[in-house]
Amino acid sequence: LGMDFGQRKAKAEKMFGLMDVFLKNDSVSLQKDILDHVEYTVARSRFSFDDFEAYQALSHSIRDRLIERWHDTHLYVKKQDPKRVYFLSLEFLMGRSMTNSVINLGIRDQYADALNQLGFEFEVLAEQEGDAALGNGGLARLSACLMDSLATLDYPAWGYGLRYQYGLFRQIILDGFQLEQPDYWLNFGNPWEIERVHVSYSVKFYGTVEEEDLDGERTKVWIPGETVEAVAYDNPIPGYGTRSALNLRLWAAKPSDKYDMESYNTGDYINAIMNRQKAETISNVLYPDDRSYQGKELRLKQQYFFVSASLQDIIRRFKDNHQNFDELPDKVALQINDTHPALAIVELMRMLLDEEHLDWNRAFEITCKIFSFTTHTVEPGGLEKVPVDLLGHLLPRHLQIIYEINYKFMEELKKIIGQDYDRLSRMSIIEEGAVKNVRVANLSIVCSHTVNGVSKVHLQLLKERVFKDFCELWPQKFHYKTNGVTQRRWVVVSNPNLCSLISKWLGTESWIRNVDLLGGLRQYATDPDLQREWKMAKKVNKLRLAEYIETLSGVKVSLDAMFDVQVKRIHEYKRQLLNILGVIHRFDCIKNMSASDKGKVVPRVCIIGGKAAPGYDIAKKIIKLCHAVADKINNDADVGDLLKLVFIPDYNVSVAELVIPGSDLSQHISTAGHEASGTGSMKFLMNGCLLLATADGSTVEIMEEVGAENMFIFGAKLDEIPALREKGASLKAPLQFARVVRMVRDGYFGFEDYFKSLCDTLEEEKDFYLLGYDFTSYLEAQAAADRAFVDQEKWTQMSILSTAGAGKFSSDRTIEEYAKHTWGIEPCKCPF
Ligand code: 73E
């Protein structure tokens, strides 16, 4: 009683000894723990339980250990009260948690041993876990990787997002067509979250704004028309090699108890209940389209819902220790992941103005010091817009504030650039036109102290194309932080063979926290012993992948073939179609070869995987084409093991963990200027997989690190693209290209009518993504990969050099850069 955290801990240590304060991790304690959870948490007999129940018990036992560290971290950070960063994202693709947790906690082997004693195998139980797929693709997985790095590097940070009940749809393939099924991921419970029934906030919508007198001053009061409760679900994020565990707080919508007495008194009891239930729809489902905005009310509601709850939480925490809002920027950094959480800016303004009664200038200055904005977009046309009417109806007070911000910004801007009305209207936060829109990116730029791109060339695109006017106005505001991925998930968890090999040759496991040490592998790149072990590790991973492919598709693949992989969301700009056309060309060549030439062909297994947004017709046709071509090739006796094409359905984080380590070559072949960064390439690189790529997004920087001579680079360069597009129809596609397109058009793979519109996109004047133009150099790069693969010594050397050059692409580096240059935060490490 009356004791603070330090005193309580000291007392506990005195009574029990330091080690007894913490849960024990020896094999016997772990076994007992697991059995206790079988009996009391899962409520099965400890003498009779199956794999799934064992998984449940195991995960609760791990969760206990996570919670312990998570409490200690929170109490310590609370006491220190450093500046914290709050990472706001509408999407987090966490994937599975179990293996990652025990590895980061440093107790994997102990658990494996305990389970063996109980007659279970860790890997088998790990397969019981489903993915947490609360995101679409790269942007969402980036959020997850950054959280892992923040925790590992002991930064005082929180993640905030939405707890969707339906994650990203499951992709089913029926007769080669994609079908979408709901991902009701919470059906079997989620042991990795902690429901916080008492951490909840009211979030308001609709209604009107009125003016009231408050101490002689006119104040705006928002009278809401609907109130929904946001309840916190906390997800501990353990760091590796530290006791720090951060919190990812996801909000779920629940009906509010507070304001609806009225409806109960009207007598329509059943309807009143039904109406309440509607509140929950806000956090029901993740929007499955990346990069296309449809101005949907529910999406806007989701955005405001999570932003409002998060800010209430953050301001409450600040007010625990502080009264003066001028200190807010010294204690709080708010990072918005793309424009999706940008309403946080307006909400903070509203809270400071209407609830804390700060004057406009002070509120605005504080707000601008707090926010930083990362954009992931490359096309000006891809930027998020919200119809003014929609926003004004849902959030009337916020629209007023946006108008006021814009008015003041326009006045300032006129002083600087004069009466250049074209430029003023381009930079305005409000887009005038038949439908008036709020330009969310402009709002985010105006109210942030820093705007970051996600790769070096992305910043260049921001300057030249996306935010040209703003970059000229405020050049010092724009930066880039090259994305990264966490080596814990993408090597240690997913590729244990390679992981132990690296540690053995470097003589240390330190690279798991200090990834630059990977460079130490360079000196052994030609060492025959390392080469032998390296190839063996790859072979084991390929075997695992081959078994998976056979189970899924019935296609048997040869381990001697080159595994050539392209896995990512299906998009025209990512050019999966170029890949498929390349496969058709290869097939065509083999069909027309003499027997002796066939002997020289390097056997290939071409693997494609990825989801198409449900309404994205062309992307869905690409998936069908892949299946149609695969059907033909895989059943052709002339081709045999020389060429296989497989589509891996339902690509997600856990599938990636299996596919990436087992690939030899991976393709990142977007038309230059279209991929802001691309992070898949980094995961493949770390796993010693060679890259066949265009110079786009992060591959430009990968070339700088591993050398273009260790990659297969092709295609039109960024600065050539505009002229090529200009030329359009006069660009003659090569004959080989015309031939393979014709095969598709003429129904060689069936479904002539269905593929017609897909083929039309490749007509010379319509080939926006320049597949025809790039086809020749693409085939040359593929041929170069074949030649390199024949010389296995050379190939293995290139593979080792790829891993050795991957250091820069760790999210640890990304986080260090953000912490120093954008957020101004320091590590805060709990000393025990
Ligand atoms: O290049 C990738 C990038 O690596 C980019 O396309 C992706 O973000 C990755 C991480 O920086 C991205 N996702 C979205 N926009 N860019 C997006 C947009 C709307 C909804 C969901 C995702």
For residue 248, the CA-to-ligand 1 centroid distance in Å is 20
| Residue 458 located in a structural domain | no
* Residues 116 and 144 reside in one and the same domain: no
Mean pLDDT of the chain: 96
* Residues 321 and 181 reside in one and the same domain: yes
| Residue 520 located in a structural domain | no
Is 683 a catalytic site residue?
yes
Is 24 a catalytic site residue?
no
Q: Which of 575, 630, 511, 613 is nearest to 773 (CA)?
A: 575
For residue 308, the CA-to-ligand 1 centroid distance in Å is 23
Q: Which of 302, 317, 344 is nearest to 163 (CA)?
A: 302
Bigger pLDDT: 125 vs 213: 125
Mutate to test the pocket of ligand 1, among 139, 287, 377, 379 (most ligand atoms within 8 A of CB): 139
Is 808 a catalytic site residue?
no
Q: Would you give the distance in Å from CA 529 to the centre of its chain?
A: 37
List b or e across 658-677, with b for residues whose CB sees 16 or more CB atoms inside 10 angstroms. Answer: bbbbbbbbbbbbbbbbbbbb
Catalytic residue among 44, 569, 611, 621: 569
Residue type, 219: T
| Residue 268 located in a structural domain | yes
Asked if residue 831 has pLDDT above 90, the reply is no
Angle between helices 98-105 and 138-152 (to 10 degrees): 20
| Residue 444 located in a structural domain | no
pLDDT score of 295: 85
Asked if residue 374 has pLDDT above 70, the reply is yes
* Residues 91 and 120 reside in one and the same domain: no
pLDDT score of 16: 64
Residue 152 Cβ contacting ligand 1 at under 6 Å: no
Task: List, in sequence order, the alpha helices (H) in 663-791.
Answer: 680-686, 698-706, 721-727, 735-745, 752-760, 771-790
- The Cα–Cα gap between 397 and 28 comes to 60
Q: What is the ipTM of this complex?
A: 0.99
Instruction: Determine contact, residues 580/622, Cβ cutoff 8 Å.
Output: yes
Task: List, in sequence order, the alpha helices (H) in 512-593.
Answer: 528-553, 576-591
* Residues 70 and 5 reside in one and the same domain: yes
Catalytic residue among 291, 376, 571, 644: 376
Is 376 a catalytic site residue?
yes
For residue 185, the CA-to-ligand 1 centroid distance in Å is 23
* Residues 309 and 332 reside in one and the same domain: yes
Check which CATH number belongs to the domain holding 704 and give it. Answer: 3.40.50.2000
* Residues 122 and 154 reside in one and the same domain: no
For residue 377, the CA-to-ligand 1 centroid distance in Å is 7
| Residue 388 located in a structural domain | yes
- The Cα–Cα gap between 633 and 150 comes to 46
User: SS3 breakdown of the chain: % helix, strand, coil, rounded to 5?
Assistant: 55, 15, 30
pLDDT score of 326: 98
791 phi and psi angles, rounded to 5 deg: -90, 90
| Residue 431 located in a structural domain | no
Q: Which two tokens stand for residue 405?
A: 């911000």
Asked if residue 41 has pLDDT above 80, the reply is yes
- The Cα–Cα gap between 338 and 791 comes to 44
Q: Would you give the distance in Å from CA 749 to the centre of its chain?
A: 35
Instruction: Determine contact, residues 478/453, Cβ cutoff 8 Å.
Output: yes
- The Cα–Cα gap between 635 and 653 comes to 30
Instruction: Determine contact, residues 90/302, Cβ cutoff 8 Å.
Output: yes
pLDDT score of 264: 61
Which residue, judged by its Cα, is nearest atom 13 of ligand 1? 139
pLDDT digits (tens, 9 = 90+) for 323-371: 999 999 999 999 999 999 999 999 999 999 999 999 999 999 999 999 9
E-strand stretches of 239-296: 245-255
* Residues 75 and 11 reside in one and the same domain: yes
* Residues 63 and 140 reside in one and the same domain: no
pLDDT digits (tens, 9 = 90+) for 526-565: 999 999 999 999 999 999 999 999 999 999 999 999 999 9
| Residue 27 located in a structural domain | yes
pLDDT digits (tens, 9 = 90+) for 20-34: 678 999 999 999 999
Task: Please state the rounded mean pLDDT for residues 814-820.
Answer: 99
| Residue 506 located in a structural domain | no
Mutate to test the pocket of ligand 1, among 87, 291, 374 (most ligand atoms within 8 A of CB): 291
* Residues 392 and 266 reside in one and the same domain: yes
Is 679 a catalytic site residue?
yes
Residue 772 Cβ contacting ligand 1 at under 6 Å: no
Residue 696 Cβ contacting ligand 1 at under 6 Å: no
Number of structural domains found in the chain: 3
Asked if residue 488 has pLDDT above 80, the reply is yes
Catalytic residue among 60, 477, 683, 829: 683
Asked if residue 293 has pLDDT above 90, the reply is no
Q: Which two tokens stand for residue 378?
A: 């490359």
Catalytic residue among 679, 796, 814, 822: 679
Asked if residue 599 has pLDDT above 70, the reply is yes
Q: Which of 326, 328, 284, 274 is nearest to 305 (CA)?
A: 284
Instruction: Determine contact, residues 693/699, Cβ cutoff 8 Å.
Output: yes
482 phi and psi angles, rounded to 5 deg: -60, 130
The ligand 1 atom nearest the CA atom of 138: 9
| Domain around 324 | 85-96+131-396+819-823
Length of the chain: 832
Largest Cα span, the chain: 95
pLDDT digits (tens, 9 = 90+) for 381-392: 999 999 999 999
Lowest mean pLDDT among 13-17, 670-674, 677-681: 13-17
* Residues 235 and 112 reside in one and the same domain: no
For residue 680, the CA-to-ligand 1 centroid distance in Å is 12
- Give percent above pLDDT 90 in the chain: 91
Asked if residue 691 has pLDDT above 70, the reply is yes
Residue type, 41: T
E-strand stretches of 46-205: 84-88, 92-95, 132-134, 157-162, 166-174, 177-184, 194-205
Is 14 a catalytic site residue?
no
* Residues 51 and 150 reside in one and the same domain: no
Residue 291 Cβ contacting ligand 1 at under 6 Å: yes
pLDDT score of 11: 77
If one counts every other C-beta atom within 10 angstroms of the C-beta of residue 190, the result is 18
* Residues 36 and 185 reside in one and the same domain: no
Residue type, 549: I
Q: Would you give the distance in Å from CA 588 to the centre of its chain?
A: 38
pLDDT score of 830: 87
Question: Any residues with CB less than 8 A from the CB of 544 and at least 6 apart, and which?
Answer: 658, 661, 662
Q: Quote the DSSP letter at residue 466.
A: I
The pTM (predicted TM-score) of the whole model is 0.97
- The Cα–Cα gap between 344 and 88 comes to 9
Angle at 732 between CA 727 and CA 733, to 5 degrees: 120
